[in-house]
Amino acid sequence: MTTVAEHRRIGLLAAWGRYPVVVAEALVAQGFEVYCLGIKDHADEAALRPLCQAFQWNGIARYGSCIRFLRKHGVTRATMAGKIHKTTLYRPWVWLHHVPDIRAFKMFYKSFGLTQGDRRDDTLLTTIVNEFAKDGVEFAPATDFAPELLVKHGQLGRRAPTILERKDIEFGWQLAKEMGRLDIGQSVVVKGRNALAVEAIEGTDACIRRAGELCRSGHFTVVKVAKPQQDMRFDVPTIGVGTLRQMVAAGASCLAIEARKTIIIDETEVIRFADRHGLAIVALDCGEQAMIDGERAAA
């Protein structure tokens, strides 16, 4: 039986970005004791360590060590936050830098050692949470503890999308959902109902930069959505001021995201930045066509 003290303990698997810090802050504010596993070359130790009862660095292939750390501290619940840069898996001699322990080897030998496995995000991340569950550590969505991070439906900021941008949102939404269904990526960049760039393992920021290189005239639309089969425990679409900085640098003019399925970091700062740079941001429900239909009816 879980004691009250154990119930207030929670593990945090922290990867890159500000998101893990925001989650840790929310957990501490709710009275949780946070036991943090920082992913090597990803986590922000300086920001996380003061918020946590204990902090330990771990490589991306040291899951036996991760599980022992949590069990030692009596942790039976955990959450994960932040992006793991999957491109690191394809660097030369990566396994010399992130030496896998025996447990990680057993977990991933099908994906990395045999021909019948795959390395898609859902495959790898589901393997991780299932392995922790074998030792009594259950993962929960980080947004269970910080639901305010999920963006609400509607327009963010002063500028609404133009008619052309709305048409690109409609086209890009369908394309992004299909890419998500195939577990390829979450974002597409569109102009004139033509796909300029599709996100794969490089991530949203690099996808936006590539679109800017291909479309020097700018004024294109970024669409970022959840997968149709989205597991809210991991790989939830996330935006912040950094995303908008990439958009401005590349020449993008509009961002469409999925309401209640997208995490927004520092929303007030995001809106201020968007207004300052004339960006349109809208959060829509899945399959929503109301904006476009309304425009067509008005026409």
Domain end (from 116, 144, 172)? 144
Tokens representing residue 282 in the block: 């809208």
**Which DSSP state fits 151?**
P
The reply to whether 156 and 286 lie within a common domain is: yes
CATH number for the domain that contains residue 39:
3.40.50.20
Taking the model in full, what pTM does it have? 0.86
Q: Which domain holds residue 184?
A: 150-298
pLDDT of residue 2: 56
Domain end (from 144, 160, 186)? 144
Q: Are 211 and 180 in contact (CB under 8 A)?
A: no
Three-state SS at 28:
helix
What span, in angstroms and rounded, lies between the C-alpha atoms of 85 and 71?
A: 27
The reply to whether 76 and 159 lie within a common domain is: no
Q: Are 58 and 65 in contact (CB under 8 A)?
A: yes
Tokens representing residue 269 in the block: 């700062």
What would the pLDDT profile of 252-295 be if each residue is shown by its tens digit? 999 999 999 999 999 999 999 999 999 999 999 986 644 444 44
Q: Are 252 and 221 in contact (CB under 8 A)?
A: yes
Q: Are 67 and 135 in contact (CB under 8 A)?
A: yes
pLDDT of residue 293: 44
Domain end (from 144, 165, 189)? 144
* Structural domains of the chain, count: 2
Helix (H) or strand (E) holding 66: helix 63-72
